[in-house]
Chain A
Amino acid sequence: AQTVTQSQPEMSVQEAETVTLSCTYDTSESDYYLFWYKQPPSRQMILVIRQEAYKQQNATENRFSVNFQKAAKSFSLKISDSQLGDAAMYFCASASNTGNQFYFGTGTSLTVIP
C-alpha cells in the first residue's frame, strides 16, 4: 500500500506571489505516478499536474510546477503568480503501476489574499 501525507492543512498566499504546497509519500513500488488535484468551492476535482516517477524532469503546467525529489519521496507543488481563482483545496495523490488504486492525501486548503 501507499500513503500520502500533506502536512499543511491550510496555507495562504498574497495575490501574485508564489506558494509551495508540500506532499510526501511512502511506497515500496519502483514504478508509480504522482498527481495534484484542485478542488475549488464548486467541489469539482480538477487535475492540476501529473508526474511519472521514472522521469527526473519536474513537470510544469503554466503557473504550476512540481519539485519531485524521488529519494526523499517528496512531491511539492509550486504555484507562481497566484490568482484569486487558485483558492481551493489541493490534494496530492499517488498511484502504483500495478493496480488501479489512487491514494490521496488529506488536502491543503489554499487561501489567496487580494
Chain B
Amino acid sequence: DTAVSQTPKYLVTQMGNDKSIKCEQNLGHDTMYWYKQDSKKFLKIMFSYNNKELIINETVPNRFSPKSPDKAHLNLHINSLELGDSAVYFCASSQRASNQPQHFGDGTRLSIL
C-alpha cells in the first residue's frame, strides 16, 4: 500500500549515460514534485506538475526532463549524466491546496562513477 513509490531505490551508472527514475502515487493527489537532495542534505525543488501540466521549473539543466503521462505518474529522465548529478532524488505528491502536506517517496540514490 505504498503511497508514493519510486524506482529504482539505487542507481549506479557511468558519466555520459542516460537514465530514468519512475514515480507513482496512489493517493489521488493533483500535484507531483521532484526534489534533489545533495550531500549536505539540502533539499532543492526541481519540478512541479499539476494535473500533468508543468507549473514549476526551477533552474535545472535541460538534461533533466520530467514526463507526466497521467496525474498519478511523474518520471524523471536524465541525459548525459555528470558527476554533479550524484544525489538523492525525491518524488513527492500533494493535493493542490498548499495547506496539505507533501507525501514523499523513499528517494532514489543516484551515484555517478
Contacts and interface: CB of A to CB of B under 8 A. Distances in A.
Binding partners A and B: yes
B31 A100 contact: yes
Contact of A45 (B42, B50, B104): B104
A91 B102 CA distance: 13
Contacts of B104: 44-45
Given A45-B92, A107-B42, A50 B101 contact: yes
A95 B98 contact: yes
Main secondary structure of the interface of B (DSSP, over half): strand
Contacts, number: 60
A91 B99 CA distance: 17
A52 B97 CA distance: 12
Interface in B80-107: 88, 90, 92, 94, 96-99, 101-104, 106-107
Contacts of A101: 45, 48, 56, 98
A47 interface: yes
A97 B96 CA distance: 9
A61 B41 CA distance: 25
Contacts of B42: 106-107
A23 to B, nearest CB: 14
A102 B45 contact: yes
B98 A99 contact: yes
B43 interface: yes
A66 interface: no
B15 interface: no
A39 B74 CA distance: 22
22 contacts: A33-B99, A35-B101, A39-B41, A43-B88, A44-B104, A44-B106, A44-B107, A45-B92, A47-B102, A50-B99, A50-B101, A91-B43, A96-B98, A97-B97, A99-B55, A99-B98, A100-B48, A101-B98, A102-B45, A102-B98, A102-B102, A104-B43
